[in-house]
Structure 1
């Protein structure tokens, strides 16, 4: 059976529109993307949808086809932005999966509003400041070096375009826009919130932290620190993989995520039982 194509939607919020891709049926999974890959339905997404979940993948403000939301200026603003997105989508307490920059947003969301998170999955999440294990500054890396940093086995560049061919201006403009948006949220302090680590004990959702074994951007020590600070968090590591995890090893990461989601059904959440009783 061929994979069903995702539907494309726009969610209207005060201040702009959020672009969203959605596919699958079952318990809702809100996926918060990394700095790259916005606005595209990846095999990783399809793997989760095929496992019996409804995957909702919005683009962050200033990424993909989402509007800028100029008043969204920092990580705390993104928390309120995604609470608004959840309300607009009718998501009372979804599974939340965040990768890298999106993992940072997911962690902050779970700290701020633990009652709104059914389960939490962090995939090589940014957000922590560990001076002895610094995060590589992607804003300083040339494109060739960036690819080598993101992948365990960097993909071979396709030999389809002539060196003399003009650049794809739409792609250049989109990349500049997204880099500018990332800098807006994470330039100072770089990809971190120094207060986050001491607040992680507020998280109550069942949490899985997954890391690639060869992460040259966010050292695996960051994932292990998340596990140490989040009550009851579990840890998994995918071998022979770099930071571009759901591009490089989509099946393996989807399998880890769906295993966690299946083990922590939203219907079994303690708040679900309380809400069911209150509705009678």
Structure 2
């Protein structure tokens, strides 16, 4: 049984990516709990009790019914590392209008979900996702996954192939094995580096690492979100959880499994996206060859039983926010064809 929905409040524009200047200044500056208490999502939020590392945890998710004529299908949306699931709002609206039920979780460690401090693994995240589908009585879903969510989607498609009808990978990371170019980075060093990131540094990281075609105001709510969490008494726990997710991305490659995924798969890539986690730690001579993501996607799709790639020229890493109409139309055409 689902818990009662979390009441959303009037900050719908925040989850749409509108600058926080439209909100009262006091609200924009107040500290935020590490489960994003008070940060508005575009739809009611529910919670699934789970256990991780011997601790009780809660996995947050939105479960949005079709607003158009229901087609009997459910789309599962898997978020990236730097964003809560609220950033899916335009995709949720397009899919539900087309008759899809949409389930959009925050994985443990992200968004409104609990923040475990033990090591992360894609196997565990996949098992948590299957537990969510089981709790909702969903035997089979279509998956739309972004960035780190793409790595999770690949592992999910490998460990529970019977649950996946089709797969859309939006600007996924993990299309190369980062261990071949990036040396191991101790967790304590990462904690110091991430702990020193200011709002301005984080904004520049998103704009440049993701080669975004968006104005700064579009990512301002997410920059503000990270800055406000620093005011929480549990910020050290958030920071360690966030850093542990980097170690998972670096140390648990999925690229070697992608050609083995049997579900029909569409890569939707930004032509400008050269995001490569860990590039700053790689030897300078190797950095330039990292992050050729569109080319990697095309090569991998050609090796899959049923894979293809669509590249959006002039677009960076946040395809569904940079080119929402085209992205949604592309995704719906693909899903409706399977």
Smaller-chain TM-score bracket: 0.7 to 0.9
Find the residue that maps to 1:197 and give its secondary structure: coil
Q: 1:149 to 1:186 in 2, by over 3 A?
A: closer
- How far apart in 2 are the matches of 1:179 and 1:245? 27
1:31 alignment counterpart: 77
1:118-133 pair list within 5 angstroms: 118-130=165-177
2:31 alignment counterpart: none
Whether 2:55 is the aligned partner of 1:12: answer no
How many pairs does the alignment contain? 250
Find the residue that maps to 1:258 and give its secondary structure: helix
1:94 alignment counterpart: 141
Q: Cα distance, 1:92 vs. partner?
A: 0.6
Q: 1:168 to 1:77 in 2, by over 3 A?
A: closer
1:244 alignment counterpart: 318
Q: Cα distance, 1:67 vs. partner?
A: 1.3
Q: Which of residues 198, 204, 207 is equivalent to 2:262?
A: 204
Q: TM-score of the superposition, structure 1-length normalised?
A: 0.76
Q: Cα distance, 1:134 vs. partner?
A: 6.7
Q: Cα distance, 1:46 vs. partner?
A: 1.4
2:154 alignment counterpart: 107
Retained in 1: the 8 A contact 2:43–2:64?
Answer: yes
Whether 2:63 is the aligned partner of 1:22: answer yes
Unmatched 5+ residue regions in structure 1? 161-166, 265-280
Retained in 2: the 8 A contact 1:200–1:230?
Answer: yes
Q: Which of residues 221, 242, 260 is equivalent to 2:295?
A: 221
2:278 alignment counterpart: none
Alignment RMSD (CA, Å)? 3.3
1:60 alignment counterpart: 107
- How far apart in 1 are the matches of 2:164 and 2:206? 33
1:107-186 pair list within 5 angstroms: 107-130=154-177, 142-143=201-202, 144-157=204-217, 169-170=228-229, 180-186=240-246
